[in-house]
Amino acid sequence: MFSKSEVKELLLKYTLVQLYTDVVPPQFGVTTSAEENRRFQAETFGDSRLPLYVILEPLGDGKFREVARYEEGKINKVEAFKDFLRKPLEENGSIALR
């Protein structure tokens, strides 16, 4: 799904981050545990579903605003996921752009 050219092109417009909630790979110089990351996700987003796709707008000082959330965990509808990625860019081209 992520290798589809249309999806890949849309993802390139965002800065991608990943929150490790099972095991934090040691090559990242562990600063938090998977348990802390799970707790952060649940407290911050009120959702512990995996995977959770959220588009955030950085506000500075480590703060952010949630712009969009994809409602499926497993992506079953490619067009719906592309719309999820496309809509914030159309509404405000500056959100999360590189």
pLDDT of residue 98: 44
Q: Per-residue pLDDT for 3 more than 50?
A: yes
**Residue 1 banded pLDDT, cuts 50, 70, 90:** confident
Give the tens place of pLDDT for each residue, 17-71: 999 999 888 888 778 899 999 999 999 999 999 999 999 999 999 899 999 999 9
What pTM does this model have? Answer: 0.83
Q: Per-residue pLDDT for 95 more than 60?
A: no
Contacts of residue 22, Cβ cutoff 8 Å, sequence gap at least 6: 34
* 67 touches 55 (CB < 8 A): yes
